[in-house]
Structure 1
Amino acid sequence: MKRVLLLLADGFETFEASVFIDVIGWNLLDGDHSTELFTGGLRKEIRSSFNQRFIVDYPIGEIDVDSFDALAIPGGFEEYDFYKDAYDEKFLDLIRTFKAKDKIVASICVAALPVGKSGILKDKKGTTYKNPVRRDALKSFGVEVMNQPIVIDDYIITSWNPSTAVDVALLLLELLTSKTNADYIRSIMGFEK
């Protein structure tokens, strides 16, 4: 079984989190049945953007990186304190540990910023939300910022806004399983290209 950890920061965007939950879940039920998703965060209770409350499976101190195959991180809103959690050293260190163990790291929108701040994107290509402030922030972490919707470099996926979310989740599924399987899930979910 391939296990994905969905890492949530306060202020995370629910839509961006939900695509990982659904794509990995659809694969568990209707695809090759090889994936499961679990949630983690700095605390047991995390608030999303717009103040919904979520209880995660694992507080960060209880996460065994060796038991996961990939890390997925949704972006979020500064107005809901996304960067307070996302730039916390424990959050960044977890990202570093996943990469050090050659695991896939997938991010959507501004989740590229903690990935960049962690150092794992230094001297690599990436993208983030199409806002000059966010793009400059990513560049300041030593990332070659690309003007394209999705960038993958060394099994690190970054993207530029919520419109890319489904494609990022399906790309993660493809890397965990196969292109044929991910295309099948795309089709049965109605996201055919």
Structure 2
Amino acid sequence: GGPHYKKIENNDKVKKVIRRFFEDDTKVLAAICAAPTILGKMGLLEDRNYTCFEEMNEDFGGHYHYEYTVTDGNLITGISAAAAIEFAFAIMEKLCGKEHTDQVKASIYYDAAR
């Protein structure tokens, strides 16, 4: 995410890696803030649930949600830097499972409801 997303957007080598991760069900592809727009412009958000920095959302052919994080299969997106903790927990849950993630949350006294 952030203002340097344009460097990724213009780098064909990085976009090849992104596409390879996207197409491999054993991999997790995660993007936050401006970065999901790269996926959208690559056509990877079509028919998918996602979020991104709201002002940068275009018609990417998917289903935009104004939420901190959205997980759709192996795709995890975050809305902005303000969502960094929720985004990290979504990635952790996908990789390590809900039980482990809940244990980590408890160990740091994390309560999303506060």
TM range (shorter): 0.7 to 0.9
Q: Is residue 87–residue 117 contact of structure 1 (8 Å, CA) maintained in 2?
A: no
2:42 maps to 1:118: yes
State how far apart, in whole Å, the 2-side matches of 1:159 and 1:86 are.
17
2:2 maps to 1:83: no
Write out per-residue CA displacement over residues 88-117 of structure 1, whole angstroms, 9 at most, x where no aligned residue.
Answer: 221211111012121111121111112222
Which residue in 1 is equivalent to 2:96?
177
Task: Show structure 2 runs of 5+ residues with no match.
Answer: none
Quick one: percent identity of the two aligned structures? 28
Write out per-residue CA displacement over residues 134-157 of structure 1, whole angstroms, 9 at most, x where no aligned residue.
Answer: 012xx2x32222222222222211
- Partner SS, residue 182 of structure 1: helix
Q: Is residue 93–residue 118 contact of structure 1 (8 Å, CA) maintained in 2?
A: no
Write out per-residue CA displacement over residues 28-52 of structure 1, whole angstroms, 9 at most, x where no aligned residue.
Answer: xxxxxxxxxxxxxxxxxxxxxxxxx
Which residue in 2 is equivalent to 1:29?
none
Q: 1:122 to 1:87 in 2, by over 3 A?
A: farther
Q: Is residue 69–residue 79 contact of structure 2 (8 Å, CA) maintained in 1?
A: yes
TM-score, length of structure 2 as denominator length: 0.83
State how far apart, in whole Å, the 2-side matches of 1:84 and 1:161 are.
18
TM-score, length of structure 1 as denominator length: 0.52
Q: Which has the higher strand share?
A: 1
CA-atom RMSD in angstroms: 1.7
2:12 maps to 1:96: no
State how far apart, in whole Å, the 2-side matches of 1:145 and 1:109 are.
13
> Aligned partner of 1:111: which letter?
A
Q: Is residue 148–residue 160 contact of structure 1 (8 Å, CA) maintained in 2?
A: yes
2:91 maps to 1:165: no
Which residue in 2 is equivalent to 1:109?
33
Task: Show structure 1 runs of 5+ residues with no match.
Answer: 1-74
